[in-house]
Amino acid sequence: MTGFARQPDRTVWEFRSPDHPVDPLFVNRWSPRAFEAKAMPEGDLYTVLEAARWAPSAYNIQPWRFIYAMRDDAHWNVFLGLLDPFNASWAKNASALVFLVSDTLTPAHGASPAQPSRTHSFDAGAAWAQLALQATTMGYQAHAMAGIHFDEIRQRLAVPGNYRVEIAIAIGRQTDPRDLPPALQEREMPSSRLPLEEIAFSERFARDPDNADSVPLDDSAQGDQ
C-alpha cells in the first residue's frame, strides 16, 4: 500500500487487510480488552478529546459531552462500578474512562424554542470515531462499551434529563492478553469486516432475497426514519 504517511501496524494487519487502498490508521484502530494498567498523562486524554471536539454535527450544535476519570482519580472506582461486570472485568486496567452523553434537544434559537434533535446520537458517534482514531495515532486504543448502567450513570454523574447516555469508552495502551481470562484471550484479536460490495450499492439498495432483514418498509412507515 503506498501514498499514505502512516504505516500498517503489523500485529493488526496479520488479521486485517483492506480490499481497497485506505489510510492504515483506519485498519490499525481496533478494540482490545488487554490494557497496560498504567496512568496516562491527562494532556494525552485532552488531545484525544480535542479530536472528538472537532467532529462535524448538524447545525454545528456539538451535542456531545464527555465525563471522564483518570485511573489515579479518587472517582475511578465509581466509574468502574457504572460498567456492567463483564466490561468492568477488563476495563479496570484502562488508563482513562470516558462517558459520552449527547443533548437530545436542539437549543432554542431566536424565536424557535428548543426541539427534539434528530441527529444527536449520530453526531456523538462521529465524535466517538474521531476520538478513537486520535487515540490510535498516539499509540493508545479506545474501546467503546454499551454494556453500562444507564440509569445509575445519569444519577451518579448528574447527567441532565435532556441528555442521552450513549456509551462508555476505555482508553489505554494495548498489552499482552495473557492476563485476561482464557475465554477473553481467545477473542483478543482484530475483527474483519463485511466486503464492500455487501454494504455499498450503486443506484439502489441491493436487496439480498435470502436475507429476511432486508425487507423494505412499506411506504407508510418510511416517513420519519
Ligand X SMILES: Cc1cc2nc3c(=O)[nH]c(=O)nc-3n(C[C@H](O)[C@H](O)[C@H](O)COP(=O)(O)O)c2cc1C
Q: Kindly list the residues in this chain that would bind ligand X in the complex (CB under 6 A).
A: 30-31, 87, 144-147, 167, 190-191
The answer to whether the beta carbons of residues 87 and 145 sit under 8 Å apart is: yes
The 8 Å CB, 24+ separation contacts for 181-187 are 181/89, 184/33, 184/34, 184/90, 187/33
C-alpha cell at 70: 483518570
Residue 174, amino acid: Q
Q: Which is nearer to ligand X, 43 or 85 (CB)?
A: 85
Q: What is the DSSP letter of 95?
A: S
d(CA 19, CA 193): 10
Q: Is 44 or 84 the residue whose CB approaches ligand X more closely? A: 84
Q: Distance between CA 171 and CA 145 in Å, rounded?
A: 11
Closer CB to ligand X, 54 or 150, in the complex: 150
Select 45 or 133, whichever has its Cβ closest to ligand X: 133
Q: In 10 A of CB 41, how many CB atoms?
A: 10
CB 140 within 8 A of CB 44: yes
Strand partners, 141: 172
Q: Specify the residue, 107 or 185, whose C-beta has the smaller distance to ligand X.
A: 185
CB nearer ligand X, residue 193 or residue 207: 193
To ligand X, the closest distance from the beta carbon of 127 in angstroms equals 12
- Distance, CA of 111 to CA of 109 (rounded, Å): 6
| Measured distance CA(170)–CA(166) in Å, rounded | 14
Specify the residue, 12 or 45, whose C-beta has the smaller distance to ligand X: 12
State in angstroms the smallest separation of the CB of 223 from ligand X. 26
- Joined together, the cell numbers standing for residue 85 give 461486570
